Amino acid sequence: MKKPNPAHIQKLSELFNISPFPSLLSMKLADIGVGYAVIEVDIEEKHKQLLGVVHGGMLATLIDTVAFWSVYYDIEDPEAWLTSVDLKLNYLAPAVSGKLFAKGLQIKVGKTLCYAEAEITNGDGELLTHGTATLMILKESNTMKKYCFPPKFL
């Protein structure tokens, strides 16, 4: 089995945590490896809708984002990137305060499409949201070239 390069993970985490959209929503890439990813969010007022619970769009964004990163390590072409083509989710319980933990698991990576599932829990481990995502591999997007990443694997 391939072993992820810690230097690649460090660079990836640093860039994720300062990139515009994840920063706007205060997402932090907490862990990533072959077939999985974990993103954490401390719930703030900006995440809530009028009734004081976390907005469904925030939860959908977390599912989409963590599913994306759960398949990242099995995309072998270093110049390829991913885009979501389908996102399905179920809201199972409201989130009001504390921390959100989004965990993504790769189900399948093909030549063109990838499939992943994800869940969001609160600090007590209560399942709040469950979802699945289909992602398309975009060949030669050159998205990551400008960042001079160390290799993905040792």
Give domain status of residue 14, yes or no: yes
Give domain status of residue 151, yes or no: no
Give domain status of residue 22, yes or no: yes
Give domain status of residue 154, yes or no: no
Give domain status of residue 77, yes or no: yes
Kindly report, residue by residue over 44-63, the tens digit of the pLDDT: 999 999 999 999 999 999 99
Which range is most confident: 2-16, 70-84, 111-125? 111-125
pTM for this model (two decimals): 0.95
Which residue, 64, 71, 67, 75, is CA-closest to 140? Answer: 75
Strand runs labelled E in 23-92:
27-33, 36-42, 81-91
What DSSP letter does each residue of 92-106 carry, written as one string? Answer: -S---SSEEEEEEEE
Residue 132 corresponds to which tokens in the numbers above? 């699945």
Give domain status of residue 120, yes or no: yes
Q: How many CB atoms lie under 10 A from the CB of residue 62? A: 29
Residue 143's pLDDT is 67
More confident residue, 145 or 130: 130
Q: What is the extent of the structural domain holding 63?
A: 6-144
Residue 32's pLDDT is 97
Give domain status of residue 149, yes or no: no
How many structural domains does the chain have?
1
| CATH code (residue 29) | 3.10.129.10
Residue 110's pLDDT is 96
Give domain status of residue 38, yes or no: yes
